[in-house]
Amino acid sequence: MIDAENLTRKFDEITAVDDLTLHIGEGEVFGFLGPNGAGKTTTVRMLAGLISKTSGTARIGEYDIGNSEDMQKIRRMIGLLPENVGLYEALSAYQNLDYYGRFYKISKEQRQERIEYFLKMLGLWDQKDLSAGKFSKGMKQKLAIARALIHDPKILFLDEPTANLDPEAAKTVRDFILELKRENRTIFLNTHLLSEAEKLCDRVGIIKTKLLAVDTPENLTQSLSGIKTVIQLETINDKIIMAVEKLKPGKVEVSNNKLIINVADPELENPDILKVIETAGGRVQLVNEVTSTLEEVYLKYVRGE
């Protein structure tokens, strides 16, 4: 659905996006993670046709972002929540959405239906006649999300969609994104909130001008230090440790009365580990499975550690 090959953008001597190759499938929620200035917004602006590429190629569906005729078709396929929402502040919330609906030549009946649906979903229906200039930052953000969807796009680019939102409003937006996912829309999500990426995204990419990693959140967290089984025992002695080590798992660490064991397949290995512990006289109190966090993975890549 979104395909970029060696996509690059330079501003004079500064390379904002360097040789980006990325493939995002239909119906996928893809999270783009990176520090400020990493190239996230520049990537979205290129894919949405707001700025030109310096080199490389990119396609939205079957259309080329470097082709002016194709860009007209692409703009009908995509919805965009930009970094700066850019609403008409003298117009009401309803009038803002109606204006953009007419711009996309949506019938009056469809405009009315969609405006009511989106404003109700985002908790803005009661403020539909209030001018956008009187909205809080969070309300403007939600109105801009509705605007991005008014023409029923297949692909949605969201640049920090929960920025400026309080926790309750942010949850409303996240739930709304999950609802859009169930409609099989493709969503490209720029975010610096790692917890948000874990909750919403099928895959994430970590960028710092260059793309550093792409995978599911689960695979990325497991790739850093694998999976660890943590076994809390009543007491630990050398006999128990030697019994576990004879199974030749990954690294075995001891911390107080805990055994921390790197395992490749917990479902396969854990029963054998527990069995030898009990045979060696150990009394198991608690068993947990832990992996690295997405935050740890993110920091590893962006710091180059």
Query: pTM of this prediction?
Result: 0.82
281 has a pLDDT exceeding 80:
yes
**pLDDT attached to residue 300:** 87
Average pLDDT over residues 22-49: 94
**pLDDT attached to residue 304:** 78
**pLDDT attached to residue 94:** 97
Nearest CA-CA partner of 85 in 67, 97, 75, 76: 97
**pLDDT attached to residue 50:** 93
Give the percent of the chain with pLDDT over 70.
99
**pLDDT attached to residue 225:** 64
pLDDT one-digit tens code per residue, 221-264: 877 767 889 999 999 999 999 999 999 888 898 998 999 998 88
Pull the structure tokens for residue 31. Answer: 């999270």
Full 3-state SS string of 202-235:
CEEEEEECEEEEEECHHHHHHHHHCEEEEEEECC
- Per-residue burial over 21-31, b if 16 or more Cβ lie within 10 Å, else e, is ebebeeebbbb
**pLDDT attached to residue 305:** 60
Mean pLDDT of the chain: 92
88 has a pLDDT exceeding 90:
yes
Angle, CA of 251, 227 and 246, to the nearest 5°: 35
Q: How far apart are CA 89 and CA 131, in angstroms?
A: 6
Average pLDDT over residues 187-194: 92
Tell me the CA distances in angstroms from 151 to 47, 77, 108, 246, 263, one per residue in order: 18, 9, 12, 63, 49
- Domains annotated for the chain, with CATH where assigned, are 2-215 (3.40.50.300), 224-293 (3.30.70.100)
Give the percent of the chain with pLDDT over 90.
69
**pLDDT attached to residue 95:** 97
Average pLDDT over residues 40-52: 94
pLDDT one-digit tens code per residue, 205-217: 999 999 999 999 9
290 has a pLDDT exceeding 70:
yes
Phi and psi of 281, rounded to 5°?
Answer: 95, 10
